[in-house]
């Protein structure tokens, strides 16, 4: 039986954490359940961490994590975006109270002034905000309209205030029934760069995220349930170096016996070695696609549209677009 | 003796309110004290409303209002901007506690996405934010550095949350000793468009401001003193129409007796008439200079520089620029 | 019979010029033909100036001017925008060669950094540009795809080069079969502010436009036909003052005889008087709706979509969106 | 004696090309002269390629290349920026005709909408443009003012027109005496990321640059001398992978004999191998610092200030800032 070790690598994606912890074992990670669904265009993976052992091994709190992998997103195809809006709004609907009287606060985490970290604020900017309208719209619209508020609280570096504190303060005044936090994530795999959306009912817990969010944003910390939507917008430069070496080792292993020893070293020791050798040089650097600005806008369009649809199931699209 | 009537016209500037209420009377408005200072480049006017009668007539709370009129600002001259930074930072220093341990929260009111209303957010973006740094900087810097936080909370129309509620929530978490609110104002006179800065120790009270701020932002409402810095960035289109007519009437009066009656009608009645005739057409329109985008940036540079200097008197400019 | 006087007022819109020249005459302006079409949502007016007398009176070159008046555009309704895309692309198709081998250069006139003047550059940014793709796309796409290039040449104030010279230089290198110029216009009537699109086969001829374009952009000056698409994004502050006074005079005329004389003065003399009295104060100011930034983006979306559709009739929308 | 091989690696920086071609040889690359100057804050390296053998080995045309390495630039220190402005404007002055009647066209290459490629356009935006002013300024200013024009022609992907063609067309109309092209470069070494400025009198020759510029922009192609200013804003992800492996190999070589063979393979063969293994995965990705948006703005400020000073030696700073 496999001897699972707690994850030491930093990734915001539960699906990656699971693949790393599991490695080449045949069994599932203890305390974790995984289900696959979807099609070639959009692959859906549900990871559930259902006990404390799973949480310990995965380095993430217990809860449900849904990953939508959309390898074709980077090709900027309108059809792929439309399909992602469909799937995403369906998934979100399962996490949002059906009762339209329940109000929602959407929080766009991240920094306006750093493109890969600007996803959250750009989604907020595109949302249909309704919380203040109830007295202004006709009766028939009002009863089909959920109160939605939206804020982009900025980041510690530009406000001087912990993001969590800002959100606590705003929640205390606006008292929503649910917080939905949108954030840019860091992934380990290049395949997920601008090609993967994670929805979690656990809130947001700082890890390798682009900015430094320090404290978790969760039901426990803000007092209402927190659903998190994250999109991988950067891969740390170190991941590239590590991935490069592993692929190289694997490739060479077939041909040359001198690599056996390096290979036998195993990935964790290889990574530790690289961390030591390259840490100073690669820390703070990140890898992005050349078209990052356009892709972030595409993704903000998709997320805002899916959120509007999931939050306002009884409004017609022409009422918000 | 003059029979002063409470102001009926909407203006955010105390100096304009005073000129309107006073009209052509020789006495000062009761409950109001006015002092002039400065030079041709920057004219300084201090208006003090010192009792409830003054507050009633002026339509503004008791307190001190300092106006800096800088007619040459629109010419985009670097020398004028430098002079304004000097005067403004000196004036601000008188309103900020000398004790560097007293923390300040700067609030940039207004809407990022509407140029004339974006002044507040743009000032915030340029500020030296230090509240989170105290553990990161060397001892010798720390003791010369005031904790400053800065937020741009957005506007009701884009967040769904009353701005005052947002600020209350943030103040409750960050507990600053002073709030400085930066806002775009509406003036009545074209001369003040991007050429006038008002500093008030009374906070911000909704009036003809660009956005709709509804509730006042004041010591009373947020629990700490609120200093307001406002710059006139728009004049309502209606003001143009009114000013046009008044100037016309005045001009024609010399030549033609048929205007006497219109002239005798007096400005208030003329304005009421115009409000009735033109209200529907001109409401929601505003007048701005062509170079508004550049001028707003110039002014944001000046305000941020003056604030940095006033807030951090013991830091060298090279430590924040 | 009416005694038509050449226009002295500055307007970029042929339809306004015609209304001003015609005044209250019952006959049409000599050398001008007008046809109305469309419905309440989008009113279509075709003005043809067909001889030199018409050109002289109207202050515009001979040619065809189509105006689409969309009073509801400012309400930001998705249905209205979609309807405008339909009508606009149909009108544009009549002015673009059917032969897909004929190439088009779209020129976005105006200044990125001044919101009301940024329409042209923002349309260019949203266009499907294909001129460089012919060797990269599959055969079946290539033969359905017109070569389209797009540039935003900036304005004299930021480049130091006359816009017309820039375009001449680019046309000489790219040799398109047609130039389509997109520009922000100044109108006289508030009703047309962000609510009126003019298409002309005469190119662009400087007038009261937002920026200073000096020389005309026309078949004659660049060597290929020039179709112009203009949207009214500002009204000069002076127009407001004039309109205000005229409305006032009209309103008062019913009640008071003293206005008779002013009324008898007629609009032209009233305007001249106001120009004299107010010219210094109002010059350089413009009137815009509060939501100008959003409305400019809405309009850029509409224009780009209509252009893409008219330029690429055989490409599917999913191939460019 | 060393057996120099023509460079096969793509880099826009002459100094890197020289280091790669030279490798560990003791002699200088034939046809190349190198001089070092400057201090720890700003290291100046002059590379001269003085014959065709040098050009062949270096993969770059004959001419002068000055590199300013500023390792501290990324720390965002105002003092370092001021020092760089000093050094850079002095270096530029040696390449700009002293005669103020000689006009200059500054071309900002790159794409507004892709942050690391937006350096050129952002410099252009900050420049003092004077070519159109000569008739507007007083006599005494005019004779101290060089005619300067500035354009940001966009990139092939957004205009459909080869950038070189655009520039040829504009030069033909504006006939400047000198073109200065500002561009974002790709470097191989992470040390040069946002920390290195290259000035060359050879124009710009496509290589691994961020965008695809295809044809060279040079005296030969546009008919007037072309000075190029380039700043390294990206390192290709592949460079990271290669650098990572080389450092690893070097590190391990001391300990383990199995690496000897890999080491003996030499860098070129290692790189070719990695290109084969990783090319598909890493192509199109780039590595940037997290604060890229801020650093690009800092650098645009520095370049514009240095250019203004070098272009307008007789204007006072207050006349342009």
Domain ranges of chain C: 14-238+285-316, 239-282
A77-125, pLDDT tens digit by residue? 888 999 999 999 999 999 999 999 999 999 999 988 778 889 999 999 9
Measured over the CA atoms of residue A226, residue A232, residue A235 and residue A239, the dihedral's sign is positive
Predicted local distance difference test score (pLDDT) of residue B189: 79
> What percentage of residues in chain B have a pLDDT greater than 90?
54
In the predicted model, what is the mean pLDDT of residues D147-173?
Answer: 95
C272-321, pLDDT tens digit by residue? 665 665 666 566 667 777 778 889 999 999 999 999 999 999 998 777 66
Residue A182 neighbours by CB distance under 10 Å: 28
Report the relative pairing of strands B178-187 and B226-236 from DSSP bridges: parallel
Is the pLDDT at D273 greater than 80? The verdict is no
Predicted local distance difference test score (pLDDT) of residue A280: 62
Residues facing residue B151 across a β-bridge: B107
Q: Which of C122, C115, C69 is nearest to C211 (CA)?
A: C115
Predicted local distance difference test score (pLDDT) of residue A228: 96
In the predicted model, what is the mean pLDDT of residues D218-238?
Answer: 90
* Cα angle for residues D89, D94, D99 (degrees, 5° grid): 100
Predicted local distance difference test score (pLDDT) of residue C147: 96
Which of A159, A168, A174 to substitute to test the interface with B, most B CBs within 10 Å? A159
Predicted local distance difference test score (pLDDT) of residue A208: 38
Measured over the CA atoms of residue A55, residue A60, residue A62 and residue A66, the dihedral's sign is negative
Predicted local distance difference test score (pLDDT) of residue D193: 87
Strands (E), chain D: 32-38, 43-49, 63-69, 104-108, 148-151, 178-187, 196-200, 226-236, 285-289
Question: Phi and psi for B141 in degrees, rounded to 5?
Answer: -75, -45
Predicted local distance difference test score (pLDDT) of residue B256: 53
Predicted local distance difference test score (pLDDT) of residue D258: 47
- How far B26 CA lies from chain C's nearest CA (Å)? 27
For the purposes of burial, counting CB atoms within 10 Å of the CB of D77, is it exposed (0-12), middle (13-18) or buried (19 or more)? middle
pLDDT range class, residue A7, cuts 50, 70, 90: confident
pLDDT range class, residue C33, cuts 50, 70, 90: very high
Pick the residue with more confidence: B83 or D24? B83
* B247/C193 touch (CB, cutoff 8 Å), yes or no: no
Measured over the CA atoms of residue D72, residue D76, residue D79 and residue D82, the dihedral's sign is positive
Interface of D with C (CB under 8 A): 113, 125, 129-133, 147-154, 156-162, 165-166, 168-174
Q: Is the ipTM of this complex over 0.90?
A: no
Report the relative pairing of strands C43-49 and C32-38 from DSSP bridges: antiparallel
Predicted local distance difference test score (pLDDT) of residue B113: 77
Is the pLDDT at D247 greater than 90? The verdict is no
A285-311, pLDDT tens digit by residue? 777 777 788 899 999 999 999 999 999
pLDDT range class, residue A213, cuts 50, 70, 90: very low
A29-38, pLDDT tens digit by residue? 999 999 999 8
State the Cα–Cα distance between residues A123 and D311, nearest whole angstrom: 43
Q: Which among A229-238, B153-162, C170-179 has the top mean pLDDT?
A: C170-179
CA distances from C313 to C80, C147, C305, C308, D47 (A): 22, 12, 12, 8, 54
Q: Which of D255, D278, D262, D192 is nearest to D12 (CA)?
A: D192
Of B249-258, C311-320, D108-117, the one with minimum mean pLDDT is: B249-258
- How far B162 CA lies from chain A's nearest CA (Å)? 8
Predicted local distance difference test score (pLDDT) of residue B212: 42
* A241/D240 touch (CB, cutoff 8 Å), yes or no: yes
Cβ contact C150:C167 at 8 Å: no
- How far D153 CA lies from chain C's nearest CA (Å)? 7
Predicted local distance difference test score (pLDDT) of residue A209: 39
Which of A184, A191, A241, A261 to substitute to test the interface with D, most D CBs within 10 Å? A241
> What are the residues whose beta carbons fall under 8 Å from the beta carbon of D131, sequence distance 6 or more?
C160, C161, D103, D147, D148, D149, D174
Considering only the beta carbons, identify the residue of D78, D79, D318 that sits closest to B78. D318
Of A37-51, A89-103, D98-112, D223-237, the one with minimum mean pLDDT is: D223-237
Residue with tokens 């890890």: A207
pLDDT range class, residue B321, cuts 50, 70, 90: low
Of A297-301, B139-143, B275-279, D162-166, the one with minimum mean pLDDT is: B275-279
Cβ contact A209:A182 at 8 Å: no
Predicted local distance difference test score (pLDDT) of residue B210: 38
Please report which helix (H) or strand (E) contains residue C234, including its range: strand C226-236
Considering only the beta carbons, identify the residue of B77, B79, B321 that sits closest to D78. B321
D115-144, pLDDT tens digit by residue? 888 999 999 999 999 999 877 788 888 889
Predicted local distance difference test score (pLDDT) of residue C145: 94
Is the pLDDT at A188 greater than 60? The verdict is yes
D165-221, pLDDT tens digit by residue? 999 999 999 999 999 999 998 887 778 889 999 999 999 876 433 334 456 899 999
Phi-psi region of A110 (alpha: psi -120 to 50; beta: other; left: phi over 0): left
C87-97, pLDDT tens digit by residue? 999 999 999 99
Q: Looking at the domain B14-238+285-316, which fold is it?
A: Rossmann fold (3.40.50)
Which of D247, D277, D290 to substitute to test the interface with A, most A CBs within 10 Å? D290
* D165/C174 touch (CB, cutoff 8 Å), yes or no: yes
Q: Which residues of A touch B159 (CB under 8 A)?
A: 129, 149-151
What number of residues does chain B have?
321
Predicted local distance difference test score (pLDDT) of residue C69: 96
In the predicted model, what is the mean pLDDT of residues B99-110?
Answer: 96
Pick the residue with more confidence: A245 or B180? B180
Question: Phi and psi for C147 in degrees, rounded to 5?
Answer: -70, 120
Q: Which among B36-40, B249-253, C284-288 has the top mean pLDDT?
A: B36-40
Cβ contact B202:B61 at 8 Å: yes
Q: For chain C, give the mean pLDDT.
A: 85
- How far A39 CA lies from chain C's nearest CA (Å)? 21
Pick the residue with more confidence: C53 or C318? C53
Is the pLDDT at B254 greater than 60? The verdict is no
> What percentage of residues in chain C have a pLDDT greater than 70?
80
| Predicted model pTM | 0.84
- How far B319 CA lies from chain D's nearest CA (Å)? 8
Predicted local distance difference test score (pLDDT) of residue D208: 38
b (16+ CB within 10 A) / e for A217-255: bbbebbeebbbbbbbbbbbbbbbbbbbbbbebbebbeee
For residue B136, give both structure tokens. Answer: 């990161």
Considering only the beta carbons, identify the residue of C78, C79, C318 that sits closest to A78. C318
Q: How far is CA A146 from the centre of its chain?
A: 25
Q: For chain B, give the mean pLDDT.
A: 85
Predicted local distance difference test score (pLDDT) of residue D213: 42
Residue A2 neighbours by CB distance under 10 Å: 14
Measured over the CA atoms of residue A261, residue A263, residue A267 and residue A270, the dihedral's sign is positive
* B113/A129 touch (CB, cutoff 8 Å), yes or no: no
Of A216-230, B83-97, C276-290, the one with minimum mean pLDDT is: C276-290
Considering only the beta carbons, identify the residue of B150, B154, B162 that sits closest to A160. B150
Pick the residue with more confidence: B321 or D40? D40
For residue C4, give both structure tokens. Answer: 């038509």
Nearest CA in chain C to B260: C258
Q: Which of C177, C133, C183 is nearest to C153 (CA)?
A: C183
Predicted local distance difference test score (pLDDT) of residue D35: 96
Neighbours of chain B (3+ CB pairs under 8 A): A, C, D
b (16+ CB within 10 A) / e for A56-72: ebbbbbbbbbbbbbbeb
Q: Which among B133-147, C73-87, C277-291 has the top mean pLDDT?
A: C73-87
- How far C195 CA lies from chain B's nearest CA (Å)? 14
Q: What is the DSSP letter of A235?
A: E
Predicted local distance difference test score (pLDDT) of residue D209: 39
In the predicted model, what is the mean pLDDT of residues C216-236?
Answer: 91
Residue D273 neighbours by CB distance under 10 Å: 17
């Amino acid at each position: 039986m496999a001897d699972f070790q707690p994850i030491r690598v930093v990734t915001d994606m539960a699906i990656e954490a699971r693949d790393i912890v599991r490695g080449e074992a045949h069994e599932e990670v203890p305390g974790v359940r995984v289900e696959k669904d979807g099609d070639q265009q959009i692959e859906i993976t549900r990871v559930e961490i259902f006990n404390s052992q799973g949480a310990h091994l995965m380095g993430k709190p217990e809860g449900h994590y849904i990953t939508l992998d959309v390898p074709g997103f980077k090709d900027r195809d309108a059809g792929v975006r439309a399909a992602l809006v469909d799937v995403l709004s369906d998934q979100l609907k399962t996490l949002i109270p059906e009762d339209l009287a329940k109000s929602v606060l959407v929080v766009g985490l991240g920094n306006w002034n750093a493109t890969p970290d600007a996803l959250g604020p750009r989604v907020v900017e595109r949302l249909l905000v309704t919380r203040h309208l109830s007295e202004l719209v006709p009766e028939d619209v009002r009863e089909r309209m959920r109160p939605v508020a939206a804020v982009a609280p900025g980041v510690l570096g530009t406000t001087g205030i912990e993001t969590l504190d800002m959100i606590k303060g705003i929640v205390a005044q606006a008292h929503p029934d649910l917080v939905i936090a949108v954030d840019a994530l860091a992934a380990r795999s290049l395949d997920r760069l601008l090609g993967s959306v994670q929805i979690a009912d656990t809130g947001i817990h700082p890890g390798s995220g682009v900015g430094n969010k320090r404290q978790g944003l969760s039901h426990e910390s803000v007092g209402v349930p927190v659903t998190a939507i994250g999109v991988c917008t950067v891969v740390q430069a170190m991941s590239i170096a590590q991935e490069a070496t592993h692929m190289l080792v694997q490739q060479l292993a077939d041909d040359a016996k001198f690599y056996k020893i390096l290979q036998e070293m195993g990935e964790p020791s290889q990574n530790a070695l690289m961390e030591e050798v390259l840490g100073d040089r690669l820390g703070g650097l990140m890898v992005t696609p050349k078209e990052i600005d356009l892709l972030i806008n595409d993704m903000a369009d998709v997320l805002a549209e899916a959120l509007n649809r999931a939050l306002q199931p009884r409004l017609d699209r022409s009422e918000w677009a």
